[in-house]
Amino acid sequence: MFAGFRVSGQIRARHVDAPPEPVDGVTARPMTPAEYSGWLALEKASYVGDIVRSGALSREEAERKSDEDFAALLPEGPATPDTALLVLEAAGEPIGTAWLRHGYLPGVTYGYSLHIQEEHRGKGYGRAAMAVGERAVLAAGESALMFSVWGGNDVAMDLYTSAGYRILDEERSIDLP
């Protein structure tokens, strides 16, 4: 019935019952305070782009929403309680970042962001980053990882499907004449 409507967003989740196999050479470490401001600027710009691309808001509205959301979600920056800001590395070189919030729901870690740098995409690092997130879930004593994915991000959606993440909710939209 809604096949002609484009996917504007999904919420996905997976129960994590055992630590995934680590990916050779991929590690994660806490983001340093010195790295935080650059990461924040890139995250906010990416978030604005996702919102605008999905058709949810105008650029101006998306920028306002981004400022408000980040202020609410990271009130203490990298020291915000129950927050893990990670830098993913391969061979000692940063390849991406992850932003997790433990205790989002009882037993659930929420993944706010998973980003692999453009020049490192297509090398299996997205799957490695998912494994890092799943290990962080278990280390926090939780049992599920949940996150949102914006419509139009087909590469990410395919990765999440192949990694066993189920769609819990999906929003679709269509342009009206």
**Residue-level pLDDT at 8:** 67
CATH code for the part of the protein at 9-169: 3.40.630.30
Could you tell me the residue ranges of all domains in the chain? 9-169
The pLDDT, as a whole number, for residue 80 is 97
Q: pTM of the predicted model, to two decimals?
A: 0.85
Give which of 51, 42, 60 is closest to 118, Cα–Cα.
42
pLDDT along the chain (177 residues), means of 10: 71 88 84 96 93 86 97 96 96 94 96 92 86 93 90 75 83 72
Distance linking the first and last C-alpha atoms of the chain? 19
- pLDDT the model gives residue 10: 80
